[in-house]
Structure 1
């Protein structure tokens, strides 16, 4: 029986993209929170919010500072702060900085700051939100600062940037569904670009580039409903149980079975929140024997039973 299951799994009928599945489940939501032309000197400070943020040099160069690092951002560069750490942006390292919220409010009132004198910069800043209740090691696998330089005007990333910029100019508004969707697309493009161009990835991202670990993740994500065991997984990828445990935990930080459990909880959370599936239906989709077992596991993980969770959501509508 074990060999038959393993043989079937070794012959997948289609390619499955683990990163796409993670992105879909975390449901990243993008928006632009600042867009302005600026005259030097200028500077803004941004507090920690635990959400990815990025800054784009549409025109002119500037600096981004986070911790002890000061990065020079050239025209057509993009800098992302994946963990949402406290940082600042300014035309010069020594420039005085105001809270970003103050600068954003001034723009919203039609009285933008930093307009005295010759315009030296045009910048656009975005944020990407997601359900913090969902645990996944993808964001912790990213460095504290990512800089994408030498972006060409015909690059898909910069074409998306220009579409966002044009829509903001057309509508004289940073917030609409087109801009938000394009900002989400831009974040995914930035993420994919970072993975493709960096050989020395860490954590979850390094596992995506290691063939056997990626195969394990493909199996888990494509078939969360299967009754996975270490014996089945190790046989499929041609590893001993001990090697499987060691390599998986070294890369991702948890054992395969813990990862499976947490991923099922993430899927349960999103299906409860964004679908009309019954608890029995969700249990069947993600690999629980019945609704009662799922309910106990969900309460242990999130603190509420599935019914309590959905009732709380109804009150927010």
Structure 2
């Protein structure tokens, strides 16, 4: 399995569309506050994006996609001027009149969200406009399909749209990475010629007795140069990353499998169940047994 798929699978991505509505007249759409990553697709018409961090609002057009990886505060409205408090919030209509916009709203949850280097690598918002920097032919096709499926409202459409939302997010990551690989981030590290293979090796064999030296050999770098380069890209030391990944594997297996704690400890590179339990509690603040009881 490739490294990005490996990470996304571990995070247990689950996207859903929770609103498809028309807005007309003076309106304001505000959906922040869920604690989840959120996204909007402009299915028809135009609107304006307002955010506290933006010096000027951004105009969005039909087919545009915007994602807020960190649930940033934002408002969509019909005007470039921020809507006053007397403008209705989230009031949609089934029978629009005059100028209107149709918006698909969704969120993205990560069922295993105790450690999410993917989201940490993304900016507060991403606008993917048709013909824009991050847009691709595949993304355009996915967005068009989502719009048509949402409009059709056929039996099973909700399930289809939710699954396509999962796929959409992964394509967004691909598109973002294709343009932003030069930046120092976890996502950039996955595709780095030297660090990418190291991360894959850790993922493929968390049970190995990894040391900075053995990981540096994977990257064909000196120990000191590797440690500095790895930390600069990923944001943690190589051994911290090994520990983080082992703990994610352990948490996932405790949550979803019937393997014994001793077996999971061995899979994660620990020589004994007691040393594993101690490391797990230090990392998460709870014992392995508590995860299993709550699953």
Same fold (TM over 0.5): yes
Tell me the distance in 2 between the aligned counterparts of 1:126 and 1:227: 42
Asked if structure 1 preserves the Cα contact closer than 8 Å seen for 2:14 and 2:111, the reply is no
C-alpha contact 1:231 1:241 (8 A) present in aligned 2: yes
Alpha-carbon offset, residue 128 of structure 1: 0.2
Distance of aligned partners of 1:236 and 1:116 in 2 relative to their CA distance in 1, 3 Å threshold:
closer
Matched-pair contact (CA < 8 Å) for 1:39–1:115: no
- Offset at residue 201 of structure 1 (A): 2.8
Judge conservation of contact 1:226–1:287 (CA < 8 Å) in 2: yes
Task: Give, in angstroms, the shift of residue 184 of structure 1.
Answer: 0.9
Counterpart check, 1:143 vs 2:137: no
Aligned twin of 1:58:
43
- Structure 1 Cα separation of the partners of residues 89 and 52 of structure 2: 22
| Contact 2:50 2:82 survives alignment (8 Å) | no
Matches within 5 A, 1:207-218: 207-218=189-200
For the 8 Å contact 2:130–2:140, the answer to whether it is kept is: no
The TM-score normalised by the length of structure 1 is 0.82
CA contact (8 A) 1:234 1:240 kept: yes
Inter-CA distance 211–121: structure 2 relative to 1 (3 Å threshold)? same
Aligned twin of 1:120:
100
Cα root mean square deviation, aligned: 2.8
d(CA) in 2 for partners of 1:114, 1:168: 14
TM-score by length of 2: 0.88
C-alpha distance in 2, partners of 1:294/1:131? 23
Shift of 1:133: 4.4
1:167: how far off?
A: 3.7
Matched, 1:181 2:166: no
Cα displacement string for residues 126-152 of structure 1 (whole angstroms, at most 9, x for unaligned residues): 110013642132211111111112259
CA contact (8 A) 1:55 1:79 kept: yes
Q: Which whole-Å CA distance do the structure 2 matches of 1:241 and 1:216 have between them?
A: 13
Question: Given that residues 54 and 81 in structure 1 are in contact (C-alpha distance below 8 angstroms), is that contact kept between their aligned partners in structure 2?
Answer: yes
* Structure 2 unpaired stretches of 5+: none
What does 1:221-260 correspond to in 2, within 5 Å?
Answer: 221-260=203-242
Q: What is the rounded CA distance, in whole Å, between the counterparts of 1:38 and 1:132 in structure 2?
A: 35
Kindly indicate whether residue 31 of structure 2 is the aligned counterpart of residue 46 of structure 1: yes
In structure 2, do the counterparts of structure 1 residues 311 and 291 end up closer, same or farther at CA, with 3 Å as the change threshold? same
Inter-partner Cα distance in structure 1 for 2:131 and 2:171 = 12
Task: Give the drift of 1:212.
Answer: 0.6
Deviates more, 1:282-291 or 1:187-196: 282-291
- Asked if the contact 1:45–1:98 (Cα under 8 Å) also holds between the matched residues in 2, the reply is no
Matched, 1:195 2:177: yes
Aligned to 2:62: 75
Q: CA deviation at 1:45?
A: 2.2
- Distance of aligned partners of 1:132 and 1:222 in 2 relative to their CA distance in 1, 3 Å threshold: closer
